[in-house]
Amino acid sequence: MKAGATSFINITGRLTLLAAVCLSLSMVATAKKPEKARVVDSGSFGIFVNGRRVATEKFQIEQRSDASVATSEFKAEDSSGKMAQKAELQIASNGDLRRYTWRELDPGKAQEIVEPADQFLVEHIIPNPPDKPQDHPFLLPISTMVLDDYFFSHRQILAWRYLAQACGGTSAAGCKMTKTQFGVIIPRQRSSALVTLEYAGKENVTLRGVNRELDRFNLTAEGEQWALYLDENLKVLRISIPAENTEVLRD
């Protein structure tokens, strides 16, 4: 899968909260004492291929005084062996990327860091720590969103940004949501892409035997479409990737 989601084997707070997570300009550090972080969302996603669970992503998204931080841990195991990696995404209160860190835990120990360099972004790649980093520059604005492979919580944050831009971060009721393009960076592929998000309306979805009416958002990249299903609290409950017979379900 391209543009932020390679093939798998080679692969939420309400609107008032998502605005603070993605785009709010009001939450600046004014208190004398450090403000305690507020957990906006946490949990885990099970990843299923052809109906069989093959991996898990555990994640937590915190709102801090001047930024929001999303941490994720991905673990998978198949016939070829185990795979584990961690990521931390820091987004400033104005929506700019502050820092993205990725670490491989198993089978290797590679590391990658994406951070601003002047008005653009640069990726520092360390295949074998403590070797010297290899720098890969991106002529992209620092507001570019990270949409890395394996981390489905990044897709939820992108949906929040889409909603915040379309609805002003107050309410989705009566909000007109049009198809929107986003430039994204995919650190694991050392590449960037344009993706499109579009609200597809309400849809009845059966999750673990219970019928739910959820909001569907279509995420499209290079002709391939994912369906993201969000509940009334704007939490992703399901992601469907038909082209890869893959389904992501919140535990």
pLDDT digits (tens, 9 = 90+) for 161-179: 999 988 875 556 678 899 9
Q: Is the pLDDT of residue 53 over 90?
A: yes
In the chain, domain spans = 15-194
Q: How far apart are CA 32 and CA 13, in angstroms?
A: 27
Amino acid 78: pLDDT: 76
- CA distance linking residue 25 with residue 1, whole number of Å: 35
The model's pLDDT over 116-158, given as tens digits with 9 standing for 90+, comes to 998 999 999 999 888 899 999 999 999 999 999 999 999 999 9
Query: Mind listing the pLDDT tens digit for each residue in 4-26?
Result: 444 333 333 344 444 444 444 34
Give the per-residue pLDDT at 15: 44
pLDDT at 83: 93
User: At 18, which helix (H) or strand (E)?
Assistant: helix 15-22
Beta bridge partners of 183: 194
Q: What is the pLDDT, as a whole number, of residue 16?
A: 41
CA 220 to chain centre: 14
**pLDDT of 35:** 63
How buried is 7 (Cβ within 10 angstroms: 0-12 exposed, 13-18 middle, 19+ buried)?
middle
User: How does residue 67 score in pLDDT terms, banded at 50, 70 and 90?
Assistant: very high
pLDDT at 5: 43
Give the per-residue pLDDT at 6: 41
74-104 per-position pLDDT tens digit:
999 876 679 999 999 999 999 999 999 999 9
Q: Is 44 helix (H, G, I), strand (E, B) or coil?
A: strand
pLDDT of residue 190: 94
